[in-house]
Amino acid sequence: MSVKVVGVAVVALVAAGGASAADASVIFSENFASSVGGNYGAPSVIPNSQFYVSAGNIDLIGTPSGSPFSCVDNPGGNCVDLVGAFANGGITSTPTFLLVAGDTYTVSFGSNLQGFSATDTAMTTFQVSLGDLSQTETLTAADGDKAFSITFSPTANETGASLSFLSLTAPDAVHGAVIDNIVLTQTPEIAVPEPSSWAIMLAGFGAIGARIRTRRKATRMNA
């Protein structure tokens, strides 16, 4: 195949904007490693973290804070109990994000319902929100250590979007969903060629085929 033919193929493929696998990138993470343990009520900022208390009360617990509880994905570190000081609580990220329509955003974190045995029937629900998008999750004592991975895909661009967690129910007055190692990733939408781009690509391959047929014919005539 000549250089000219290869050039036709490359031009056709570039013009078509062929899809390729998109990689996820981390745009936010928080494990509360440097935070100070204690009870915090709205609207206070959780020290040395990227979250503030946006509703009720929360407890920052873990080994560094002197709590007897351990954190799921952050052993020896800190985590947030969404129920603190006898009230459901919520936290919201201080940084905000630009959500791009069609992109996929994944919120992952470790969680458990501490203070209960695995045979208890205790259960709690909490809401995870990213901007205008939200999803309600359920956590039971029987779940033990549980990894969550929640995906959102906005249908329109949104500016100033925050990541938040809100306790909706409490299994009792002093325990709630405990979360840690919060990571938010963004995966760009994979581009799909327009019909006109497909036509250009097919024309390019057609040109390749025609060139190959011409060369074969010329070879036979010269044989």
pLDDT, residue 115, reads 86
Residues above pLDDT 90, as percent of the chain: 60
Q: With respect to residue 1, please indicate whether it lies within any of the assigned structural domains.
A: no
Does 57 lie in the same domain as 150?
yes
Average the pLDDT over 58-63 and give the result.
89
Does 215 lie in the same domain as 152?
no
Supply the mean pLDDT for the chain.
Answer: 84
Does 217 lie in the same domain as 158?
no
- What residue numbers bound the domain in which 59 lies? 25-187
Question: Which comes out higher in pLDDT, residue 64 or 32?
Answer: 32
Q: With respect to residue 5, please indicate whether it lies within any of the assigned structural domains.
A: no
Question: Which comes out higher in pLDDT, residue 75 or 138?
Answer: 138
Does 178 lie in the same domain as 130?
yes
Does 207 lie in the same domain as 128?
no
Question: Which comes out higher in pLDDT, residue 149 or 206?
Answer: 149
Does 200 lie in the same domain as 169?
no
Q: With respect to residue 15, please indicate whether it lies within any of the assigned structural domains.
A: no
Query: pLDDT category, 209, cuts 50, 70, 90?
Result: low
Residue 1: pLDDT over 50: no
Question: Which comes out higher in pLDDT, residue 1 or 59?
Answer: 59
CATH label of the domain that carries residue 101 = 2.60.120.260
Residue 200: pLDDT over 90: no
Geometric angle at alpha carbon 220, from 214 and 223, rounded to 5°: 140
User: What pLDDT digit, counting tens, does each position of 84-127 carry?
Assistant: 988 899 999 999 999 999 999 999 999 999 888 889 999 999 99
> Crossing angle, helix 195-222 and helix 3-16, to 10 degrees?
170
Between 43-52, 109-118, 199-208, the lowest mean confidence (pLDDT) is in 199-208
Between 22-31, 118-127, 184-193, the lowest mean confidence (pLDDT) is in 184-193
pLDDT, residue 75, reads 77
